Amino acid sequence: MREDVRGGGLRTTAQLAETDRWTGYAAAYRVNGATVTGELLVPKGEGPFPALVLNHGYIDPAIYTLGRGMSREQEWFAAAGFVVLHTDYRGHAGSDPVSPMGRETRLVYTRDAIGAVKALKRMDYVDADRTAFVGRSMGGGVTLNAIVAEPDLVDAAVVFASVSSRFVDNLRQFTEPNRPEGARAFYDEHGTPEESPRFYRDLSSRTFFDRVEVPVMLHHGTSDDVCPPAWSRQTDRLLREAGARSTLVEWPGEQHAFGPRFADSMRRTVAFLRRHLEV
């Protein structure tokens, strides 16, 4: 999973919204020469501010629009005093295209998330020593990939309702039933998990959990019927067995998107981030 990722050139392209606490912009940045778009929220007041990169869950790129997927989280974190960059990933909104391999493995999305942090750290309104990832669903998997690929990049990570840290689980849960032709093409090119076990292990963040250096908080609703709660339980166990500082918070009755306990989960997350970013 390790590859040199260069991120920079963060710029705003239009103002989208403004409140008494923050201003929101359409934004774009560069990752290894490619352009990635996103939504940037900057708190009002005197910086520099701690900063978060938000990694959204799966939304069909054909209907995805800029900054979509974690709008509730964007506004909550910005109001709490964090700079927020919600990345669109390549192949989404105004970002450059992505290859089928990059899309299926999520490795290009991982590079886009890493590049977003590096781009943010160059901005004078960001405290480069206080950064974190927050990911939801597929973005939880992107976040786990990122913290094993570059263990010292951020200071904390939070994932909500995450996909599995075992790549094959996600192929079988999502790709095989929803895009069988994509699964067949992937297996034709790379072999099945039985034929190429090392290839699939190397695409699983859990294989590299011994690299994790930052504290991780996992949130999962017990009624999630998209990403089984057992996935987060196993990820938490494997992180701790590998020596990582992991905390799993289960929310009774909550489903995949979180509803009645969303505010509670955000308060818990902000407290976790403030503690570990020393805000």
Please list, in sequence order, all residues whose beta carbon lies within 8 angstroms of the beta carbon of residue 151, skipping any fewer than 6 positions away.
211, 212, 213, 214
Question: Given this model, what pLDDT does residue 102 score?
Answer: 87
pLDDT of residue 67: 94
- Residue-wise pLDDT tens digits, 77-122: 999 999 999 999 999 999 999 998 888 999 999 999 999 999 999 9
- Confidence at residue 4, expressed as pLDDT on a 0 to 100 scale: 87
pLDDT in tens, 207-238: 999 999 999 999 999 999 999 999 999 999 99
State how far the Cα of 95 lies from the Cα of 109, in Å rounded to an integer. 11
Residue 177 burial (CB < 10 Å; 0-12/13-18/19+)? exposed
Mean pLDDT of all residues in 143-162: 98
The whole-angstrom separation of Cα 27 and Cα 95 is: 10
What the chain holds in terms of domains, given with CATH numbers, is 7-166+204-277 (3.40.50.1820)
Separation CA 15–CA 21 (nearest Å): 15
Residue 80, classed as helix, strand or coil, is coil
Residue 266 has pLDDT above 90, yes or no: yes
pTM: 0.97
pLDDT tens per residue across span 19-64: 999 999 999 999 999 999 999 999 999 999 999 999 999 999 999 9
Model confidence band, residue 2 (pLDDT cutoffs 50, 70, 90): low
Q: What is the pLDDT of residue 36?
A: 98
> Which pLDDT belongs to residue 241?
98
User: What percent of the residues of the chain are helix, what percent strand, and what percent coil, each to the nearest 5?
Assistant: 40, 25, 35
| Beta carbons of 96 and 90 less than 8 angstroms apart | yes
The reported pLDDT for the residue numbered 101 is 86
Alpha-helix runs per DSSP H in the chain: 71-79, 100-105, 107-121, 138-149, 167-170, 176-178, 180-190, 197-202, 229-241, 262-277
pLDDT of 1 higher than 90: no
pLDDT value at residue 225:
97
- Secondary element (H or E) of residue 13: strand 7-18
- In terms of phi and psi (left: phi > 0; alpha: psi -120 to 50; beta: otherwise), the region of 36 is beta
Residue in this structure with the two tokens 């020596």, named with its chain if needed: 243
Question: How large is the average pLDDT for residues 193-214?
Answer: 97
